[in-house]
Structure 1
Amino acid sequence: MSVVTTHIRWVRRVATLAVVLAVAALVVPDSAVKPTEIELVKVNRATGVDYPEVSKDVVWILAVGSDARPGEDMTHTRGDALQLVGMNLKTGAAAAIGVPRDSWVSIPGYGSNKINAALYFGGPQALGDAVGALVGVQPDYVFVTRFKFFQALIGSIGGVEVDNPVAFSDQYLKPEGFKQGKIHLGPYDAMAFSRIRHNLIRGDFDRSANQQRVLRGIQAKVRARAKEPGFIENGVLHVLQYLHTDLPPSELFQLGQALAQVDPAKITNCVVQGGIGNIGGASVVLPYTDQAKRLGDRARNDATLESCD
């Protein structure tokens, strides 16, 4: 195999990594942000937290949006749109576990707070620890970005199709609303569809499920267009100019392999459920920790969720 051929294959794998991870983040913060930025960070196991062993065949990535204002470090502000994604290197299966951002949890080393505050307190490591403590599966990597990048990426792939289970609207983001059934989402609509929660029956729980619907739509579009001449190459040029990571090329290559092997027919997803409470005058989600742990137990070794209860 020639050096040129090897290089081309490596570029395609890294391109797949960049494109799929970027869209998987589904960034939907509630504030204006500065020009797009994305970061991929490898995290270490939390000190003093006992995590069950994870199969070496499964890679876990926590995709999270940051609601950083202009001039703020997006890796040390409140996180948003938390999706823990596992990928099975052997079977091509993938599982996404959505975590409501207002979940009131214990953040290792920082006391109790809304789970999205972990990013503010201790960066990607602390957020990875908090999600790991809730679900019982700690991510190997944390992927952080801003919603403007998400919109730009949706535009670059020609939008996505989703199956919307119930019609809904928002007087500020989408007054005309989204109809029930299969719909096409362009850049703005994909952001609004993923961001709206106030008019949904289950609020943040349904919003997290909508984010997963958009994620599936993106994965399907990227896979469908991957063989088009220049599609992957243009994607990597668009994404990598914004990507900051300390990972070596060999590790990016391995992640790219995992992402390239995901089979759309083997993607399953669930959202951690809970009750609504009030702590210190703030509305919070009181997550069903037993259910969260069951989801982690079911998906830990094969990235498959047979049920969400």
Structure 2
Amino acid sequence: MAAPLGPVRRALRAGVLALVLAGAAVVVPDAAVHRTDLVLVQADRADGVAVRDQDVLWVLAVGSDARPGESMVRSRGDAIQLVGINTRTGSAVAIGVPRDSWVPIPGHGHGRVNSALTYGGPALMGRTVGDLVGVQPDYVFVTRFPFFEDMVDDIGGIHVRNPRAFSDENLKPLGFTAGRVRLDGYGAMAFSRIRKTLPGGDFDRSANQQRVLRGIQQAVRARADEPGFVERGVLTVMEHMHTDLPPGELFRLGQALAQIDPAKVTTCVVGGSIGTVGSASIVRPFVSQARRYGAAARSDASLRGC
């Protein structure tokens, strides 16, 4: 007997919205012309594996540091998270990569990992992070931070579990308290981007970005059945998104995200040591650790611990 249509429809609707929100999309007022605020492309995988035949899909999510008038796909990257989704078990893993990680960039020598987006767009960014972790992404998301702020506001804000109080004199002078914290759009942006006052610097910032992603997922799940919520979000996202994916691939990604079990989500950040190159401060990532995370999560999108 076929499954009841209602639950299936709700899962797929939630999945489509989760797909676009995971890339930091937002519902904004209609306009005659919409700029591109989210780019979703299929990565050029050297192994040639057909994505539709995989149990685990890998998505690289990147926030673009583009200023007004700059290309969002040819500016420095930030909030770099390699996300694996197991379409069979519902487990998921996010491997955070500090933006100042000093790594080989194919065709460009060594540099900070976030500069790969500047040099070669989403394709080179995906390859660079994939080389570090040992897992090449199937898809690459790139989004603008202002769009991310509006999205968080539109879904009614989010809640995160903050392990320590911290502040920043420029981004958040009054700071964030420890414990369960409610964030609006600006607060979510600040929570994701502050690093100088965190004891772990870039590493703690990457972990905070993962906390924000969890908060977004939880907020979307809580409102997915509200009449019109999913439809408004999807329509607006499609107006602001550029993608080279056919509808079937978008549908598959939406299905995969709808099946994620919150109890089976693991987040880890690639560690490293602080160093300098010339006058620039960098992170020298623990490559063996990054590869260990990738090898452990490659087949089932799960990690037993960081």
Relative to the length of structure 2, the TM-score reads 0.90
In structure 1, the residue matched to 2:30 is none
Identity score, percent:
60
In structure 1, the residue matched to 2:180 is 182
| Residue 287 (1) aligns with residue 285 (2) | yes
Residue 45 of structure 1, CA deviation: 2.2
Is there any run of 5+ residues in structure 2 with no aligned partner, and where? Answer: 27-33
In structure 2, the residue matched to 1:64 is 62
| Residue 161 (1) aligns with residue 149 (2) | no
Q: How far apart in 2 are the matches of 1:52 and 1:239?
A: 28
AA aligned opposite 1:235: G
In structure 1, the residue matched to 2:29 is none
Q: How far apart in 2 are the matches of 1:194 and 1:232?
A: 25
CA contact (8 A) 2:19 2:253 kept: yes
| Residue 250 (1) aligns with residue 248 (2) | yes
CA contact (8 A) 1:16 1:232 kept: no
In structure 1, the residue matched to 2:31 is none
Q: How far apart in 1 are the matches of 2:275 and 2:78?
A: 19
CA contact (8 A) 2:14 2:224 kept: no
CA contact (8 A) 1:39 1:244 kept: yes
Residue 88 of structure 1, CA deviation: 0.4
Q: How far apart in 2 are the matches of 1:91 and 1:227?
A: 23
- Summarize the alignment of residues 22-101 of structure 1 with structure 2, pairs less than 5 Å apart: 22=24, 37-46=37-46, 56-101=54-99
Partner of 1:138, secondary structure, is coil
AA aligned opposite 2:221: R
In structure 1, the residue matched to 2:125 is 127
AA aligned opposite 2:268: C
Q: CA RMSD in A?
A: 2.5
Residue 35 of structure 1, CA deviation: 6.4
* Residues 265/11 of structure 1: CA separation in 2 closer, same or farther (3 Å cut): closer
Of the candidates 150, 153, 158, which is equivalent to residue 152 of structure 1?
A: 150
Residue 19 of structure 1, CA deviation: 2.3
User: How many residue pairs align between the two structures?
Assistant: 293
Residue 307 of structure 1, CA deviation: 1.1
Partner of 2:131, secondary structure, is helix
CA contact (8 A) 1:51 1:137 kept: no
| Residue 21 (1) aligns with residue 19 (2) | no
Q: How far apart in 2 are the matches of 1:8 and 1:306?
A: 31
AA aligned opposite 1:37: D
Q: Structure 1 stretch 51-60 or stretch 61-70: which is displaced more? A: 51-60
AA aligned opposite 2:190: A
Residue 246 of structure 1, CA deviation: 1.1
CA contact (8 A) 2:56 2:87 kept: yes
Q: How far apart in 2 are the matches of 1:260 and 1:45?
A: 25
Residue 51 of structure 1, CA deviation: 11
- Summarize the alignment of residues 97-108 of structure 1 with structure 2, pairs less than 5 Å apart: 97-108=95-106
Q: How far apart in 1 are the matches of 2:280 and 2:49?
A: 33
CA contact (8 A) 1:135 1:289 kept: yes
In structure 1, the residue matched to 2:204 is 206
Partner of 2:103, secondary structure, is strand
